[in-house]
């Protein structure tokens, strides 16, 4: 899979530093399960693929588009990619349960207010 991303882009999307990513690629550091999972989701690959170079029996994760407003809030608040993804999934579940006349754009969500309301439920 060729995305054409630089180390900077991958590191930013996965919520890790470029130097940490470089050390991983060069075998100088080990990676924890949480970080490996974040990298796999960003790349839309399975953990099997990242560890062995071959796809396992499960389908790769689908690509996730983080709304610009959420990305800006996550950067400002210092929350992890996983927490931002959880916020997005929670908001999507809320919107899915609304009637079609009450559904709104994810770019119009007050992510700070939403985060404050649900932060006790984030890991």
The answer to whether position 13 is within a domain reads yes
- Residue 62 confidence (pLDDT): 63
The answer to whether position 2 is within a domain reads no
Q: Which domain holds residue 29?
A: 7-52
CB 47 within 8 A of CB 37: yes
Count of domains observed in the chain: 2
Separation CA 51–CA 43 (nearest Å) = 13
pLDDT(34) > 70: yes
pLDDT(121) > 80: no
- Residue 26 confidence (pLDDT): 87
Provide the 8-state DSSP code for 61.
Answer: P
pLDDT(48) > 80: no
Q: Are residues 75 and 117 in the same domain?
A: yes
- Residue 56 confidence (pLDDT): 62
pLDDT(31) > 60: yes
Average pLDDT for residues 96-116, to the nearest whole number? 72
Cβ density class 64-88: b for 16+ within 10 Å, e for less: eebbebbbebbeeeebbbbbbbbbb
């Amino acid at each position: 899979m060729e995305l054409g991303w630089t180390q900077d882009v991958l590191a930013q999307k996965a919520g890790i530093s470029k130097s940490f990513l470089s050390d991983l690629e060069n075998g100088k550091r080990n990676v924890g399960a949480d970080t490996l999972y974040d990298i796999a989701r960003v790349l839309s690959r399975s953990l099997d693929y990242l560890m062995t170079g071959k796809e396992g029996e499960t389908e790769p994760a689908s690509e996730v588009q983080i709304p610009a407003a959420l990305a800006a809030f996550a950067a400002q608040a210092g929350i992890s990619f996983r927490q931002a993804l959880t916020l997005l999934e929670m908001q999507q579940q809320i919107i899915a349960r609304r009637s079609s006349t009450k559904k709104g754009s994810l770019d119009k969500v007050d992510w700070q207010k939403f985060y404050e309301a649900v932060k006790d439920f984030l890991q």
